Chain A
């Protein structure tokens, strides 16, 4: 069975600084997807970034980038130039490539951006 671990329950960062959220996972699959989702106080789940396991290149989306280490089963999220609007819960998620399309979520990291 797959598991996703986020070891940082809470983090804070000064506005305009950079912060890295960690995520590790355990799987015997070779083909899968990894995601970072943001859940602001509104509770709407917002996709931040996704990574296909077969791609060696780390995904980037504007200020958000990942460090995907497949052998180490690590998938960290780096937020550059942090903004107050980045304050939210961040969930790491795993989805293996099969017909179920099920997500397995980590426990989340609560990020607070300080003015």
Chain B
């Protein structure tokens, strides 16, 4: 089956610094990727939709200047949390849509971010 990989799986950063999380589709081209945030014992909340070669579409309430998303190639999207604060600590999950006409979504393994 299709594989989506996230890196790093866990990261600790200091408050005020920026941290980048990568999402790669390993064996397929993904024109569209999604970034979610999941707080402990809660559901996945969509943050933004990342389209290859264009600007990301952010959900209401998500600060685009804080959560920078770049989808520079058909296999890679990155989420950069800028000027991180402890309240940004969370589990971040990406997913990728396979192919231009398909509607199957594949999820990455997720990335734990801890801001200290």
Contact = CB atoms under 8 A, between A and B. Distances in A.
A57 to B, nearest CB: 19
Contacts of B54: none
B55 to A, nearest CB: 15
A105 B32 contact: no
Nearest to A106: B43
Contacts of B49: 100-102
Contacts of A105: 43-44
Contacts of A108: 42-43
Interface stretch (B13-21, B75-83, B105-113): B105-113
B110 A102 contact: no
Contacts of A45: 44, 93, 95, 107, 110
A44 interface: yes
Give the one of A37, A43, A46 with max B CB within 10 A: A43
Nearest to A42: B109
Interface bracket on B: 10 to 19
Nearest to B112: A43
A103 B45 CA distance: 9
A76 interface: no
Contacts of B43: 91, 105-108
Contacts of A49: none
B44 A107 contact: no
A64 interface: no
Given A91-B44, A107-B42, A108-B43, A101 B32 contact: yes
A43 B91 CA distance: 9
Contacts of B44: 45, 91, 103, 105
Nearest to B111: A43
A95 interface: yes
Interface in B18-42: 32, 34, 38, 42
A24 to B, nearest CB: 15
